Amino acid sequence: MASSYTVSQTGADSRYLTSTSQVGISAVALLISLAALLFVIDTGQVQELFGLSRQVEARVPTFFIRVAFLIVGLAAAFFLVTGLSVYKRNRVSFAPWLFLAVGVAFFLIYVIVPIFQSLSYSFTRWDGLYDVNGVWTGEWVGFNNYRLLLDDPNFYTSLWNNVLWLVLFMLAVPVGLGIALFLNQTVTGIRIYKSLFFFPFVISQVVVGLIFSWAYNPEFGLLSEIWGWFFCETKVNIVGNLTKVCSVDPPSILGDKDLATYGIIAAGLWPQIAYCMILYLTGLNNVASDQIEAGRLDGAKGWKMLWHVILPQLRPATFIAVVVTVIGALRSFDMIATMTQGGPFGSTNVLAYYMYDQAVGEGVGRYGYGSAIATVLFFIMLIYISYFLWRMYQDEKEGH
């Protein structure tokens, strides 16, 4: 009796003891992988150690070796920590952090660190190159890039286009609501109509951009065909080919600096409206019918019913629709890249595209200047994101 008690006692204690073998093995594994990561692979010491020439080094995909050692190292660290008695005693408060660790690490490496990197690049003149010895070739210029930005007409064009995108893209919300209300009825085959309206959202943005730039094309596009019915006639030209002669030329939407941005926004709205529509359709499913009946009894109908009874119940859907539309407007990069590449002469640039154009695109290589544009864009987005997070926080508080 007494002996069995002792056994269970030690058993209970040992649960909280550091398991030496686990910690020992994983510590060794961790050390090896750290050494491999930081020292050996990077400086080519392994190669010298084994007398391999640089030829072999080039054939070995060092990147994958590094990733492999990183994974081994992470696993070793995980087992090391879980073997410690400190961890075993505080499992409940430690465990979430342990599982978050990988995500946090990647978020730091791929989001937080680059933000500060590009902030620091924005104070330099740099063409994106390191020399043969891996030495950075840029120079520190203080606020010069920002001073240049203030004096750059293309920057103001881009900024103004960003505003245009944000404002006009919001049209997707009411139009989406309108279509959702229209489609929210029970007719035979309504599912087919709904899917047809949703269809543009399924198509890739690049394809949407291509379709619209063909439609806009003043030579052979859909728009110029329709225009031709009113203003153009077909004549025979000097070498006997048929050609179109117009009394009023069809608008060259993507070639006109005053129209091009609107043309791209219209193309972007097409899938965005579909997205908002589907959000509202699901929202409408959840509208309480008893409240509608109550509203009817009180004599509400038409606009009054919509404004005072339906819309308040759609508030969550509206919130999400606004958020995704703002995000969509800021993601206008794809559409611009496919439709105009920022042209004609930079008049359809938005900040994101202008940044890409100056830093990476076509080898222009003004990385410092591009980073300054990125920083401005970052702070503009920060305002919106802070507001969004604050709203979320307020809602959470109300919820509890």
Partner 1 sequence: MKNMLKRVSLTLAASAFAASTAMAGDLVITYDDLNPAPKKAFEAAVEAFKKANPDVNVSVNITDREAHKNTIRNALQNDAPDVIAWYPGNRMGPFVDAGLFEDISGLWSSDPNLSANFNAIKPTMTRDGKQWGVPYSYYQWGVYYRKDIYDKLGLSEPKTWDELLANCDKLKEAGVTPFTIGTKFLWTAAGVFDYLNLRTNGYDVHNDLTAGKIKYTDPRIKKTFDNWKVMLDRCSFVKNHATMSWQDAIAPFAKGDAAMYVMGNFSVSGYKDAGLKDEQIDFFQFPEITPGMPRAEEAPADALFIPANAKNKDEAKKFLSFIATPEIQGEWNKTIGQLPPNAKASVNTDDKFIVEGMATVSTAAGLAQFFDRDAPAAMAKAGMEGFQKFMLEPGALDDILANLDKVQAEVYK
Positions in the binding site for partner 1 (CB under 8 A): 53-56, 58, 125, 127-132, 134, 137, 148, 151-153, 213, 216-219, 237-241, 243, 249, 252, 254-257, 340-341, 343-346, 357-358, 360, 362-366
Q: Specify the residue, 155 or 169, whose C-beta has the smaller distance to partner 1.
A: 155
Q: Minimum CB separation from partner 1 for residue 222, in Å? A: 14
- Residue 162 tokens read as 């960003």
Distance CA 98, CA 90 (A): 12
242's enclosing H/E stretch is strand 242-246
**How far is it, in rounded angstroms, from Cα 352 to Cα 331?**
8
Cβ nearer to partner 1, comparing 162 with 213: 213
If we measure between CA atoms, which residue out of 350, 323, 351 comes closest to residue 339? 350
Of the pair 13, 219, the CB lying nearest partner 1 is at 219
Nearest distance, CB of residue 121 and partner 1, angstroms = 15
As measured in angstroms, the least distance from the Cβ of 275 to partner 1 is 28
Q: Which is nearer to partner 1, 318 or 340 (by Cβ)?
A: 340
Answer whether 122's CB lies under 8 Å from 372's CB. Answer: yes
Q: Which residue in 382, 374, 360 sits closest to 158, CA to CA?
A: 374
Q: How far apart, in whole angstroms, are the C-alpha atoms of residue 114 and residue 111?
A: 6
- In one letter, which amino acid is 245? V
CB of 91 to partner 1, least distance (A): 44
Q: How far is the CB of 285 from partner 1 (least distance, A)?
A: 44
Sole residue written with tokens 């806009």: 216
With tokens 């043969």, the residue in question is: 132
> What does the angle CA 249 – CA 252 – CA 256 come to, to the nearest 5 degrees?
120
d(CA 203, CA 338): 14
| Closer residue to partner 1 in complex, CB, 255/295 | 255
Smaller CB separation from partner 1, 224 or 318 = 224
Kindly state the smallest distance separating residue 270's Cβ from partner 1, in Å. Answer: 20
By C-beta, is 179 or 335 nearer to partner 1? Answer: 335
Closest separation in Å from C-beta 371 to partner 1: 14
**Exposed/middle/buried for residue 351 (C-beta within 10 Å: 0-12, 13-18, 19+):** buried
